[in-house]
Amino acid sequence: MSALAEQQQALLNALFAWPADVAEASLLRLAEGVGSRPGRGLQAYQANGHALAERALQSAYPVLAQLMGQDGFADLARAFWHAKPPQRGDIAQWGGGLPEFVRQSAQLHEVPYLGDVAGLEWALHQSATAADGAAELGSLALLTQHEPQTLSFDCVPGWCVVRSRWPVVSIWQAHQEGGPAFDDVATLVRQQVAEDAVVWRSAFKPLVRQALPGETALLDALQSGHSLASALAMADDLDFSQWLPLAVQTGLVLRVVPWPSTSLGEPT
């Protein structure tokens, strides 16, 4: 490695290395290469990086920040900044690895639902920038004209399902205006009530609700390319007559489409 490359690597280590003694060692190596002690300037850059990390993550994970408190979340942001530094210029796209980072943190094992709450918040963060989709309500008539094994659904771009062994939807909703009471949610946490979440974007806004029984199985099957008939068979506990109006009215389902993606035959 050339002297310039060594200095560049020392600079990166000084900015991102953690814990602090590792960064200090990198500062000393960098000082040897440039003939001075650049600690004050680099420490300012590192402090700015910490502040940037905290602001970026708080924007994507506001409920996680509330659950952890200001100091705890600031410590988490600094640790994640050094463990998983940004790989591209758009800082708004940084932070997707935080849910797993939280799950693997020995310090946070006593609050095991934090990683799943973070996973839900990242799904909402991603959904906020997803493409918009136009509904085609007239296509619903195909449901009365063709057999379900020849049909499928198109859902809005950016939707996803978040599974959890914890009441993550209730936890998230408790931190929104008009959400459930914290005492009620605490009871759900103590009882370890599992909640799966459906996340999607409608009218330029990311939305979340608790999945209906069988809904995650249906959505997974549709996303995997199954026909409607096959997907319904995999979601045998889903009340389709309840789910379909909800999915259409809230913008989760945009249209009925042929399956496979070929022209439909004559109506049955």
Which has the higher per-residue pLDDT, 49 or 33? 49
> Domain segments of the chain: what residues?
3-111, 137-258
Position 31 pLDDT exceeds 70 = no
What would be the CATH architecture of the domain defined by 137-258?
Answer: Alpha-Beta Complex (3.90)
13-27, 152-166, 229-243: the lowest-pLDDT one = 13-27
Asked if pLDDT for residue 89 goes beyond 90, the answer is no
- Print burial letters for 80-102: b (CB count within 10 Å at least 16), e (below 16): bbbebebeeeeeeebbeebbebb
- Report, as an integer, the average pLDDT of 1-27: 52
More confident residue, 24 or 178: 178
Q: What is the pLDDT of residue 132?
A: 83
- Tell me what percent of the residues of the chain surpass a pLDDT of 70: 78
Which pLDDT value is given to residue 43?
59
The reported pLDDT for the residue numbered 86 is 84
Least confident of 45-54, 121-130, 207-216: 45-54
- The pLDDT tens digits of the residues spanning 136-163 come to 999 999 999 999 999 999 999 999 999 9
Whether 143 and 86 have beta carbons less than 8 Å apart is answered as: no
pLDDT at 39 (0 to 100): 55
**Helix (H), strand (E), coil (C) string for the chain:** CCHHHHHHHHHHHHHHCCCHHHHHHHHHHHHHHHCCCCHHHHHHHHHHHHHHHHHHHHHHCHHHHHHHCHHHHHHHHHHHHHHCCCCCCCHHHCCCCHHHHHHCCHHHCCCCCHHHHHHHHHHHHHHCCCCCCCCCHHHHHHHHHCCHHHEEEEECCCCEEECCCCCHHHHHHHCCCCCCCHHHHHHHHHCCCCCCEEEEEECCEEEEEECCCCHHHHHHHHHCCCCHHHHHHHCCCCCHHHHHHHHHHCCCEEEEEECCCCCCCCCC
Does residue 76 or residue 261 have the better pLDDT? Answer: 76
pLDDT at 4 > cutoff 90: no
Q: Above 60 in pLDDT, residue 33?
A: no
pTM greater than 0.85 (yes/no): no
pLDDT at 11 over 50: no
